[in-house]
């Protein structure tokens, strides 16, 4: 077992598979306002994630996960900026699984 996987396993409660869809999943208004408040989206609604290329961002918009905390399918972008997001390795998201306030 490599060191990076063992570190991810320490805080990980859930391992969730990333799913690819045919079209982008729209972000809800609550998610957009939260992204704006933390500076990851401008006033026009354009995402500005540090360290993420435009090509990868386009791909992330087409992905979704079955969130074990919210118990519903969500776009990968809210998952990526969630406090429970630990890492993403080989198409799987490592989630801490703590309750969201």
Model pLDDT for residues 15-49, shown as the tens digit of each residue? 999 999 888 888 888 888 888 888 888 888 888 88
Torsion 34-31-42-84 (CA) sign = positive
Give dist(CA 90, CA 101) in Å, integer. Answer: 29
Place of tokens 């961002």: 57
Structure tokens at 41: 């989206």
Q: Is the dihedral of CA 76, 93, 69, 86 positive or negative?
A: negative
Q: Which secondary structure element, helix H or strand E, spans residue 98, and what is its range?
A: none
- The per-residue pLDDT for range 63-90, each reduced to its tens digit, is 999 999 999 999 999 999 899 999 999 9
Backbone angles phi, psi at 79, to 5 degrees: -65, -40
The closest of 40, 15, 33 to 92, measured between CA atoms, is: 15
- Break the chain into its structural domains and give their ranges: 3-95
- 0.85 exceeded by pTM: no
DSSP 72: E
């Amino acid at each position: 077992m490599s060191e990076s996987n063992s570190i991810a396993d320490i805080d990980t409660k859930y391992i969730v598979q990333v799913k690819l869809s045919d079209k982008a999943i729209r972000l809800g208004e609550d998610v957009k306002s939260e992204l704006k408040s933390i500076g990851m989206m401008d006033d026009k609604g354009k995402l500005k994630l540090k360290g993420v290329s435009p090509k990868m961002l386009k791909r992330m918009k087409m992905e979704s996960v079955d969130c074990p905390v919210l118990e519903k399918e969500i776009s990968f972008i809210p998952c990526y900026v969630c406090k429970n997001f630990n890492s993403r390795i080989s198409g799987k998201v490592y989630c801490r699984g703590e309750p969201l306030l």
